[in-house]
Amino acid sequence: MKHFETNAIRTQTERSSQREHSTPIFATSSFVFADAEQARALFANEIEGNIYSRFSNPNNDEFVQKLCLLEGTADGMAMATGMAAMFVSMAAFLNAGDHIVASRSVFGSTHQILTQILPRWGIESTYADIEKPETWEKAIKPNTKMLFAETPSNPGLDLADLEFLGNLARNKGLLLNIDNCFATPYIQNPARFGAHLVTHSATKFIDGQGRVLGGAVLGSKEIIEKVRFFARHTGPAMSPFNGWLLSKSLETLAVRMEKHCQNALMLAQTLEKHDSINWVKYPFLASHPQADLAKKQMRLGGGLFTFELKGGLETARKFVDSVEMLSFSANLGDTRTIVTHPASTTHSKLNDQEKAAVGISAGLIRVSVGLEHTDDILADILQAIEKAQK
């Protein structure tokens, strides 16, 4: 078994007759058959090989093969977007009458799938409080089939105990599905704790440079066989260009995540002492209520931290209006540092009670820490805080 960095760099599509060093883009919708016998065997699944890019393409396969090695899963399939991955990971397994228990603070579109889309096919869900194990147990019903969580949560940065959920899923015979987008496979490997499905939006840290959309569903051979059947016939395929780009991105995931996390920890520690800030939340700060769990299941603290500005809504609005270099955007996982005000943007549709339940106050700012020099990131945050306080 080679190491993470080596797998991320040296897993590569077989060289063509051109002897290329770097994998080219296979911009082809279909593949030719050598003869009638090979075509028959490919369609009968007796041999492996490409037929049509809706279900396999060398670029997408290279990307997902790497991701499997990095996550420790046997198989996987690339999807056009993170949301395609989330939807397929549910729709491929659930039938009318089934029930999902999910962590309350899931990504906005995942919330819409759970509450607006799946119910149209008779699939219901209940939310549990991510950090409270007893609420997961209480939410399980006789027809529950899947547990779904995003950890760390967005933007609360609360953690689900992966070992607890892995045991719960095993004891109750449920599928455990973890959206590992925030942590990335460099920081956390849910399959090691018993997750049957590991889902990703590759749009965030995996691409890492804010260029393309992508996603993946990973799991055992048996699990991915069902995913592949569903996706082959419904068509949420990744484009070969995106597969090529994302496979290149994985080559630098380890060094990028080291730096994202180092920068985030440094900024979180510094801002925690600032007079105009009530609190800072980051999984690897000693003040995080689940700091011990974070150290147990995460290799590093991640690239995001949140803080609450004194002064509430008006001060937070002035803060995002006052940043100069930093980007004010709803995305995350970019080389560029991004600030978000969840209460007025990504989570504005929640009522006050729902906001409180997922830890969103009017003064909360989320920072996706980029790879610029920390002196420059800090200087911009400090000048924006100063302006916001006036």
Binding region for ligand PLP (CB under 6 A): 81-83, 86, 107, 150, 154, 179, 181-182, 201, 203-204, 213, 215
- The nearer residue to ligand PLP, 154 or 290, going by C-beta atoms, is 154
Closest separation in Å from C-beta 384 to ligand PLP: 24
Contact 158, 131 (CB under 8 A): yes
Query: Smallest gap, in angstroms, from Cβ of residue 260 to ligand PLP?
Result: 14
Write down the least CB distance from residue 82 to ligand PLP, Å.
2
- Alpha-carbon Rg for the chain, nearest whole angstrom, is 22
Which of 107, 244 has the CB closer to ligand PLP? 107
Q: How far apart are CA 226 and CA 316, in angstroms?
A: 46
Closest CA to 178 of 308, 71, 80, 94: 71
User: For residue 9, how many other CB atoms are within 10 A of its CB?
Assistant: 16
Looking at beta carbons only, is 11 or 105 nearer to ligand PLP? Answer: 105
Nearer Cβ to ligand PLP, position 66 or 204? Answer: 204
Nearest residue (CB) to ligand PLP, 131 versus 179: 179
> What are the start-end ranges of the H helices in 173-322?
184-187, 221-234, 240-251, 253-271, 291-297, 312-322
Angle at CA of residue 357, ends 356 and 360, nearest 5°: 45
CA gap 227, 224 in Å, rounded = 5
**Which residue's CB is nearer to ligand PLP, number 98 or number 179?**
179
Distance of CA 110 to the CA centre of its chain: 12
DSSP 113: I
- Cβ-closest position to ligand PLP: 82
Of 238, 211, 197, the closest CA to residue 27 belongs to: 238
Supply the minimum distance, in Å, between the C-beta of residue 313 and ligand PLP. 24
Closer to ligand PLP at the Cβ: 103 or 144? 103
Distance CA(151)–CA(314), nearest Å, equals 30
Cβ-count burial 369-379 (b if 16+ within 10 Å, e if not) = bbbeebeebee
Q: DSSP 3-state assignment of 376?
A: helix
Nearest CB to ligand PLP, comparing residues 105 and 315:
105
Residue closer to ligand PLP (CB basis): 278 or 331: 331
DSSP assignment of 23-45 equals: PPP---SB---SSHHHHHHHHTT
85 or 139: whose CB is closer to ligand PLP?
A: 85
Provide the CA 360 distance to its chain's centre, in angstroms.
20
Residue 244 CB, shortest distance to ligand PLP, in Å, is 17
Alpha-carbon span 188 to 153, nearest angstrom:
14
Nearest distance from C-beta of residue 34 to ligand PLP, angstroms: 37
CB of 206 to ligand PLP, least distance (A): 10
Spatial separation of the C-alpha atoms in residues 219 and 199, rounded to whole Å: 9
First-residue to last-residue Cα distance in the chain: 57
Give the shortest CB-81-to-ligand PLP separation in angstroms: 3
DSSP state of 350: S
- The least CB distance from residue 156 to ligand PLP, in Å, is 12
Closest contact distance (angstroms) between CB of 247 and ligand PLP is 16
d(CA 275, CA 211): 37
